[in-house]
Structure 1
Amino acid sequence: MKRLILIVLLLTSAANFAQGGEKIQERIKAQKVAFITEKLELTSEEAQQFWPIYNEFEAKIEKIKSEDLRPLKKEMRQGDVSDKRAGEILEKLLEAETEMHNAKLELAEDLKKVIPAKKIIMLNVAEDQFNQKLLDKLKEFRDRRQNRRN
């Protein structure tokens, strides 16, 4: 899940430079929905119940990352923090990681009510596959840009 957010952010940053970022984000989201729906072989009924739960989970994770993790990581990258502040940052990072873990546990519990356990397990595989596709596309985009410059 962490990789997905990183990939989306990287793709979005690159895409913002080349095109409108919102359109790219919408396209990525639509492709992800189609990809996961296909890989999990969700029925229409399952999909109707699955996506609101999954979207709520992703919103929680994004909120934690944008409000908690990004500012802390930015501060860490700037360096030159005192040992005391480093301890505070570490504590906050661990709290955020715990929140994300708890959100993932809650996701699994909620999904058990609407799809079989096998599909919940396959969700992790599908997310990894989708993330890899995004990385591959990002690399292609970067290579094309590089070739245009040369």
Structure 2
Amino acid sequence: MKKYNLIFIVFAFSFSSLLAQRPGGQQYDKEKLEAARVAFITNRLDLKADQATKFWPLYNQYNEDRGILMDKISTINRSSSQEITDAKAREMIQERLSLQQQLLDKEKIFMEEVTKAITPVQAMKLGGVNREFTRQVYRMQQGSDRGRRN
């Protein structure tokens, strides 16, 4: 039980200072955000120490690879708002589909690897837990914005 209290305290501390502004605008402290994400996911998936040491390197690499592909897809989507020819549009569609297939392939490999580190049930919960974390950060940001406007 003490382990969960410690994780919750770390999470709460990291989360509470997560949305603090830096000079020059609204910037999030990436280290605090990642610490909060680690604590949140570790707690929600109930990762044991041996699972966590195997899980986090796999998860971090997958997220990095996924982020790179998502950035490429976003770039294609943004350039589609410009004047383009039909031929260029076809090329962009094929490129986007190729990137989406790469995403799917990476997810398949990740799931194969990660279920060696954590249970399949934990692996299935991962996507929902990640979305839940993102929603909580979003809600906190909205609350923070409302507080600044008043």
TM tier relative to shorter chain: 0.7 to 0.9
* CA RMSD after TM alignment: 2.3
d(CA) in 2 for partners of 1:111 and 1:45? 13
1:108 counterpart residue number: 111
Matched, 1:43 2:48: yes
Tell me the residue number matched to 2:29.
24
Change (3 A) 1:134 1:73: same
C-alpha distance in 2 between matches for 1:15 and 1:74:
28
Separation in structure 1 between the aligned mates of residue 138 and residue 79 of structure 2, nearest angstrom: 26
Where in structure 1 do 4 or more consecutive aligned residues deviate above 6 Å?
none
Corresponding position of 2:145: 142
Give distance in 2, aligned partners of 1:29 and 1:80.
39
Q: Does 2:102 match 1:99?
A: yes
Q: Distance in 1 between matches of 2:143 and 2:134?
A: 14
Matches within 5 A, 1:22-101: 24-66=29-71, 68-77=72-81, 79-101=82-104
SS in 1 for 2:29: helix
Structure 1 SS opposite 2:67: helix
Q: Structure 1's 106 and 17: CA in aligned 2 closer, same or farther, altered over 3 A?
A: farther
**Cα separation, partners in 2 of 1:142 and 1:95, compared to 1, 3 Å:** farther
TM-score of the superposed pair, with normalisation by structure 2:
0.78
Task: For structure 1, list consecutive stretches of 5 or more residues without a partner in the other structure.
Answer: 1-10
Of structures 1 and 2, the larger Rg is shown by 2
Identity of aligned residues (%): 20
Separation in 1, partners of 2:128, 2:70: 22
Query: Cα gap change, 1:144/1:16 in structure 2, threshold over 3 Å: closer, same or farther?
Result: same
- d(CA) in 2 for partners of 1:30, 1:48: 15
Q: TM-score, normalised by structure 1?
A: 0.78
Q: Which structure's residues are more often helix, by fraction?
A: 1
- Over 3 Å counting, the alpha-carbon distance change for 1:135 and 1:113 in structure 2 is same
TM-superposed deviation, 1:42: 0.3
